[in-house]
Structure 1
Amino acid sequence: MVNPERGIAFDVPAEWERMPADWVSYVAEEERHDAPEALMVIDGRLELEVDGQPVQVEAGEMYVIPAGTAHAVRPGSRGTLMLVGLAEDRG
């Protein structure tokens, strides 16, 4: 959906229905990115480790990982996750 006053917007539930079934969360090794990354849990629960600390993100919540921050998906994660790459942090 496009809103000329606010730019482009998406109906997340409707878009989610169109995504392939294999877009689900998985256990991942530690990584870092040059830009912030937003992780939105559509359903289930995401278990993260962020800078060595456990973080739990529930369905309907979003967690933003700052640029350059070490993070990994921990065992116990289940459900569906949407990743949003954000513009580079220009601090």
Structure 2
Amino acid sequence: MATNMTTAKKSTAPAQESAQATVETAEPQLAPTSARAAAIVGPAPAAGGTPVPVTLSHHLNIDGTDYRPGAEILVSPDYARRLRSQGYLSRT
């Protein structure tokens, strides 16, 4: 059985002060929700094509991001057509 032979207790005050300073200065920097919602999801629109807003009817994972049913996203017209034919878009 190993025993600790040190008799002096190490001071953790400098480590605690630096950790506390880090906690006070670190603030979460989240992207605004409007900036995320305004981004085009999926493939880019063809030249001259304008993105169209769509509402999802099923859960969808695009480029590693999960979108829940009812989420409104901007997609290219061609991608919207493909999603509609596969049943991912709600009928409005």
Give the TM-score band, short-chain normalised: under 0.3
Higher Rg: 2
Q: Which has the higher helix share?
A: 2
| TM-score between the two structures when normalised by the length of structure 1 | 0.28
Identify the structure with the greater strand proportion. 1
TM-score by length of 2: 0.27
